[in-house]
Amino acid sequence: MATDGDLPLIIDGARRPAGELPKELSAALRGGEFHQALRLAIAHRGLSLARLRAHLSLRGVQIGQSTLSYWQRGLRQPEVPKALPAVRALEAVLQLPANSLVVLIGPRVGRPRGHQMAASFHDLRSGDMGSIVDELLAELGAYPATNRHNADLELLSVHDTITFDSAHRQVSVRTRLVTRARRHGPDRYVTVYNGDPGCRIADVELITDEGCRAGRMRRNPEHDTMATELLFDRKLAEGDIHVFCFEVRDDSGSASPGYYRMLRDQCASYLLQLRFTADALPARCTRQIRARDDALPVESEELPCDAQGVTSAYYRDAGPGLAGVAVEWNDG
């Protein structure tokens, strides 16, 4: 039951549970325009603009009815970052997923550049990259979702350590995962790697450590993408904790703009560490969270680099979406 604080949200004199969103509204939230999604959400909840404004006021957000009208008609766009509290309040009142409206405001940007390592790309990809990854996963029997693999593993903790060389290239991505089996039977994990521009995907190495061994591997040289099956030594029983570790080595790309992990489900604990050489420290590192790969960050925070050349970003209950660090380099 959605509430305004401790008060139930009353719509047309009756309490209405959130339930599933209509298909048209879900599609608008995934890739439509802000005004279109807002209009459909208001209609779905059966609220007049006056009542919507009253619910926002209960949450401490004062906004004019005329402004709401302009927003839903597309005559005006909420200003970033000034209007973010109001838009987040709209999501709560309209019983929408967190950040689903936030990502639709402001200029849309291209997918973040830089390496991406993902547990699963379902429902988070866009454009040609989505079909490319789908094809690779299908070859490994991990897609469509009828073959569950990763969906049977709950991510409890992920630790990524990214190492850069003096030419600003990512040369190593080392990953340790702590997982819990949601049901009986999972015996593998499928990971996808996207190289930076200039990457020679045929030369990329994946090296396994404790808890797993390499199975089948598929590469797409045209798009610098590689999917790999990591096999466990046994089938996990429901509730089993399994820890495994692997490393991707690749020094073939150009100067890296950063690293993002794409998460299909929520991850309780995610630690991302970037290691730089003393003679090639970055000008700036920025911790970011994105709801989708083609959206503006919903969180952005500049990070320090310590005396050993390490930048650390920690995320609690991250996902679904992308969590990562954007890197800017000094010229010359």
What is the dotted CATH code of the domain comprising 3-104?
1.10.260
Report the predicted TM-score, pTM, of the whole model to 2 decimal places: 0.62
pLDDT score at 131: 58
Q: For residue 250, give the nearest of 213, 279, 220, 225 by alpha carbon.
A: 225
pLDDT score at 7: 33
Q: Tell me the C-alpha distance between 115 and 227, whole Å.
A: 13
Higher-pLDDT residue of 264 and 248 is 248
Q: Where in the chain is the domain with CATH 2.60.40?
A: 115-329
Class of domain 115-329: mainly beta
Contacts of 157 (CB under 8 A, 6+ apart): 176, 177, 178, 267, 268, 269, 270, 271
| Longest distance between any two alpha carbons in the chain, whole Å | 67
Look at the block and give the residue holding tokens 């020094």. 251
pLDDT score at 145: 45
Reply yes or no on whether the pLDDT at 111 is more than 80: no
Contacts of 81 (CB under 8 A, 6+ apart): none
Q: Give 41-91 pLDDT, tens digit per residue.
A: 999 999 998 899 999 988 888 988 878 987 887 767 787 667 888 998 999
Q: Give 125-166 pLDDT, tens digit per residue.
A: 333 445 566 677 777 766 544 445 688 899 999 999 999 999
The answer to whether the CB of 162 falls within 8 A of the CB of 115 is yes
> SS3 sequence, 200-248?
CHHHCEEEECCCCEEEEEEEEHHHCEEEEEEECCCCCCCCCEEEEEEEE
Cis bond leading into 81, ω under 30°?
A: yes
Q: Where in the chain is the domain with CATH 1.10.260?
A: 3-104
Crossing angle for the helix pair 34-45 and 65-73, to the nearest 10 degrees: 120
* Rg, Å, the chain Cα set: 22
Which ranges of the chain does DSSP label H, i.e. alpha helix?
Answer: 23-31, 34-45, 49-58, 65-73, 84-93, 127-139
pLDDT score at 302: 93
Q: Tell me the C-alpha distance between 67 and 293, whole Å.
A: 29
pLDDT score at 283: 92
Q: For residue 256, give the nearest of 300, 213, 224, 221 by alpha carbon.
A: 224
Contacts of 43 (CB under 8 A, 6+ apart): none
Question: pLDDT confidence of 309, banded at 50, 70, 90?
Answer: very high
